[in-house]
Amino acid sequence: MRSSKFFFVVGLTLLAVLGLMFGSCSDDKTTTANSNAIIHDQYDETQEQVDAFIDSTLAVFHTCLNIIDIGNDVNADTSTSLVLYSAVEPDSVVISDEWYLVYTSDVDLAAGYSNVVLDSIRFLQNGVFQDSPRNADALNIRHNWDFENLDTTVSFCNYSNNGDITLYDVDADTTTVTGTTSLQVTSRDINDFITVQRDFDIQLTLSNLKVENIDGDYNFGCPYSGTITATVELTYQLGESDPSITNWEFVLTFENGVASAVVTLGTKQAEYTCDFCDFNQQ
């Protein structure tokens, strides 16, 4: 049977892939606007950034839970290569102060990007560190990811993500997820006429999110209850004009994977719903 370190590497290389996916992510979730008392030309762009970041964060939950699931599988196929689980193998894996540290870097000069992931993870049982996911009842993940376009003279979008998330009761039918995670997005659209730059600083707070395990299926990490609060500072600049700064708040309350969101900008509010996952999908 494979070692527990192997199981861990499998999961964390998948997290590295998530970083690449988010860099080219387009939100295909069904979103229904209930009301929009906020009239602002950056409303749709801001909502899309928040929803995409939340979607990516839920994928991190799912990968972490799969680490636990694989680590407890006594019938794991010992002949299967790591490559079959992930296209990205880590540059290094070390243990330091009760944390597994996984470093992955990918610099593609031809494609013009740099992608770096440094993930730290630890498994706990009754509050005590253990070096294996087997029989763990909690998992703590610190996810750090930077995606940078090397040529900033053309249109580009750069990302920097830092999170500290804990999953409790991973050995039970219902896992509780709490923590914080942040994303800085720098985007620039350049054409023959004008340049538009948007800088997003998004801070997520995860509160009492509940993810159900039904026969080893975590439904893509989608919460059936709990709350995510997002604060967003958007700096917007059109051409050579002075940049403008707006501060937004999104409060998303989950019920069976569907989030009901309340957006606040100054004294104005808007509401929408977003189906982050289909709990009836087979």
Task: Please give the Cα distance from 204 to 202 (Å, whole number).
Answer: 7
Whether residue 107 is contained in a domain is answered as: yes
Higher pLDDT, 279 or 261: 261
Backbone angles phi, psi at 150, to 5 degrees: -80, -25
Whether residue 280 is contained in a domain is answered as: no
Residue from 49, 69, 32 nearest 187 by CA: 49
Average pLDDT of 212-241?
88
Average pLDDT of 15-37?
51
Whether residue 256 is contained in a domain is answered as: yes
Whether residue 281 is contained in a domain is answered as: no
**Residue 78, strand partner residues:** none
| Residue 262, token pair as written in the block | 């309340």
Whether residue 114 is contained in a domain is answered as: yes
Looking at residue 26, what is its pLDDT? 38
pTM value is: 0.85
Which structural domain, as residue segments, surrounds residue 101? Answer: 4-275
- Per the structure, the count of domains in the chain is 1
Q: Which pLDDT band holds residue 7 (cuts at 50, 70, 90)?
A: very low
Average pLDDT of 70-74?
72
Whether residue 282 is contained in a domain is answered as: no
Whether residue 237 is contained in a domain is answered as: yes
- Residue pointed to by tokens 């996984």: 102
Give yes or no for a contact between 182 and 203, defined as CB atoms under 8 angstroms apart: yes
Looking at residue 271, what is its pLDDT? 92
